[in-house]
Structure 1
């Protein structure tokens, strides 16, 4: 006869004690609001009234057929994501290579480069707004350099690059820490063997170091893509979406639709579309970089 396996209630209770609270908070804070958001995206609720009218796919039809502002904000956010991801990882990886060497001040420099990441986006935006408007103007008047005399936050192109600069300045220190951890995990015997064989530093970097730390690139690309897509506090404090909505991110557009225009159902529908777009982008990115890891 098959003996019944006794349930170890002590282990079950210990699992419930440790996992239960985290699972409960995840359900309450993440899963339930998400499901409610999916429901409200099919309604015309204004976010205040107790009356919730079901409208089906009308919100989605309106977004795709009669909402050019949302489309423009999505195009801007995508372009910003590409530029921000490139420069954030380039700067972060460059700092990691520099500070992984035997510098006496490398620990101090690591701390200095990481500090911008701990500053809140709203505060950081107001600080850089002062730098762009007052600081650059003063430097331009003193030096006569046209670079500093541009209307950095008053023109569409310069405002875009201003956002990219501030985002990269904030996030690159965080990426640097991840890259440094990956570089420190490399087998030094492989690098020394390559040097003995006459490989240049550039060849070692391209053919050995980068392929071996591709998992770090996967993580950093995923983080920067999701952060750049969801930019809100830095955007709203630095440019406010201006001039003339030219730097309006999707997050700001959703916020204004739901909480300023009191079209919560339409704003929620936009957030669902935005969620699917970010999920698709990040899934493709992780899949492609993971595939390269296997090949490497």
Structure 2
């Protein structure tokens, strides 16, 4: 009984700052409320308009493109780093700390730092090295700005994924590797036949978390591009925030948020189902 009473403050706080706003947001998505004043119930009108909105469609396109590319980059690089750090290399404990350092930094701080780097440090270096695409601020190029955000988001996310992969690698019995060495397996065969199948649950975790985090990209966009140039780097979360609070379309963007919530949950569940089936097949 005492245990349950101790959880009451946490439950109240969670309900007040999470569940209640969620319920109110869903309710207002069926109204024409602009964030203040009176409102009236309009049914599914906001949801219908969301599917006809070019700005939102473009934001979904950018968000999916960003999420897929970032998820692949993060997991490939973090897995490679984890395998390297798990081997008998020198200073591996120091290297683990170095690789984890970006995860400690605030996302907005990192975004503003790289904004300065892309705008003021790389262009002179690109001109000196005669590298065309680095000679100008890529964040001001509609075709390249998203790559700058991918780079920063990947650089910061790799640290957390690497730690998870390292945890998975440490669960593998070293006797298995000794047996594979005796059988004459090379490093690639050992990784493909032993390492990767045995860390499949950790791969599932990282893929789901990476995709969810990438779909919700927001801070990097605010700090680096503000959704620009034009609307080239507007993600769904940025559109919801910007037009919902600054544009006075609170109810409309609440409907957008409800749809996006369903999309993110559906993608996460699909990933878990497919990857969990793969774990069993392995």
Match of 1:21 in 2: 9
1:38 aligns with 2:26: yes
TM-score (norm 1): 0.92
Contact 1:151-1:158 at 8 Å conserved across structures: no
**Residue 113 of structure 2 corresponds to residue 127 of structure 1:** yes
Aligned to 1:4: none
Consecutive unaligned residues in structure 2, runs of 5 or more: none
Match of 1:56? 43
1:56 Cα deviation from its structure 2 partner: 0.7
1:166 matched to 2:155? The reply is no
Q: 1:191 maps to what in 2? A: 177
Q: Which runs of 5+ in 1 are unaligned?
A: 1-11
* 1: CA distance, partners of 2:130 / 2:233: 28
- Corresponding residue for 1:284? 270
CA gap 1:56/1:103 in 2 versus in 1, 3 angstroms: same
Residue of structure 2 aligned with 1:270, choices 256, 261, 275:
256
How far apart, CA to CA, are the structure 2 residues paired with 1:59 and 1:233?
Answer: 26
TM superposition shift of 1:157: 2.5
Question: What is the CA distance between 1:22 and its match in structure 2?
Answer: 2.6
* Over 4 Å off, 4+ runs: none
* Residue 141 of structure 1: aligned partner: 127
Give the structure-2-normalised TM-score.
Answer: 0.97
Q: For 1:1-296, what aligned pairs fall within 5 Å after superposition?
A: 12-17=1-6, 19-49=7-37, 51-65=38-52, 67-296=53-282
Q: Aligned equivalents of 1:38 and 1:25: distance in 2?
A: 20
Aligned residue-pair number: 282
SS in 2 for 1:54: coil
Q: How far apart are 1:150 and its partner, in Å?
A: 4.2
Structure number with larger C-alpha Rg: 1
